Structure formats: C-alpha cells, structure tokens
Amino acid sequence: MKIICIGRNYIEHAKELKNPVPENPVFFLKPDTAILIRNRPFFYPMFSKEIHYETELVIKICKIGKYIQENFASTYYDRIGLGIDFTARDLQQKCKEKGLPWEVAKGFDYSAPISSFIPFSDLENQNDIRFRLELNGKQVQEGSSSEMIFSFDRIVAYVSQFITIKMGDLIYTGTPAGVGPVEIGDHLVGYLENRKMLDFRVK
C-alpha cells in the first residue's frame, strides 16, 4: 500500500506557512514504513529538532482505479480515520529553500500515526466531518471537511490521473491551521466528531 498526502488543503494553514493557495491539489507520498498504528508511542527522531504535528482526515481506498472521474470518485473510498502527518519542519524548510524533494522531512519511519477506520455511513453529516487534536489536554487544532479547498472526490480524481490508486491505499487530506511542534513527553489525543480516535505519546 501507499500513503498519499495532500498539502495546503485549508486556506488558513496555507497562510500560516506563507504558501500560496494552490490551483490544483499538491500531493506527496510517504512509504508504508511511515505507518504507526494502535496508538503506539512516537519516538522523536535524532535527525530533527522541530517535529510538527499535522492532524488530518484520512480516507481509505477500497478499489483499484485510475483516471477516475470526480462524479464517480466517492465509490473508490469507503472508510475514514484520523491521522497525524508528522513533519520535520526544519528539514522541510531546507528542502523548500533548495527546491529539493520533501521525503526526508515527511517520509521518515513512523511519521504517519493512524487511527482505526470507520465507515462513512457511520457519520451523521458527511459534508461536515469535524475533527480536532488535543496536545497535553489543550485543543490545538480543529477543522472540518467542509473547509477543505479540494474535496475528497476532487483529490481522488486528481491523484488518479497520475498514480493508480489501489485497495488499502491511504490519503491524508491535509491539515487545518494550528500546526506546531511536539516535545518528548507530549500526549496527543485526536477526535473525529466525538469519537476518540488517537491517543498516544511522544517518547
């Protein structure tokens, strides 16, 4: 499986990182070794001094497809979860300055904590899926799918023009404003609607 991540999908987050609002989705990949499941602790890596959390809705692909039309895209994913796109912001900044790829900043081991998944049909309002992150008991991020610049359908349609999506692939759909650093000892708890989905520590 592969992990596709969308960047700059919320206007306020694009602004906070001083990025322009994109015309098309911006995406990058993480390898399968980035996955961190079952609320296992995240071990702060040696190579960075500035790891940021980015809380994101994650959709799970349920069938293979390419050149998917936007009006059929919703049949290609059926479950949703909550994930953290851990980012080595210091390394990413160096990559950006030099115009280099982001893999060292985004694709490192365990940079993609992921919750369990629930069926879309379990959600009350599929057009306004709310989520939030608490860091050490204090809310630091909140967002809704209704605030995304590019919808799930648009993302699936766009990405599948370039890359075949397969059953089990994950798409991290971008983070709202409020990203920030984590420290060793921090406790992260993430909610999807009122369901506690993530609950893990930085060690």
Residues that bind Zn ion (CB under 5 A): 54, 85, 175
Nearer of residues 54 and 153 to Zn ion, judged by Cβ: 54
Round to whole Å and give the CA distance between 115 and 173: 14
Nearer of residues 7 and 65 to Zn ion, judged by Cβ: 7
Q: How far is the CB of 114 from Zn ion (least distance, A)?
A: 13
Nearest residue (beta carbon) to Zn ion: 85
Q: How far is the CB of 56 from Zn ion (least distance, A)?
A: 6
Q: How far is the CB of 165 from Zn ion (least distance, A)?
A: 18
Q: How far is the CB of 129 from Zn ion (least distance, A)?
A: 17
Cα end-to-end distance, the chain, whole Å: 27
Nearer of residues 13 and 124 to Zn ion, judged by Cβ: 13
Quick check: helix, strand or coil at residue 139? strand
| Closest to 177 (Cα-Cα) out of 8, 4, 1, 16 | 16
CB contact burial 34-52 (16+ within 10 A = b; e otherwise): bbbeebeebebeeebeebb
Nearer of residues 85 and 134 to Zn ion, judged by Cβ: 85
The answer to whether residues 173 and 155 touch, using CB atoms and an 8 Å cutoff, is: yes
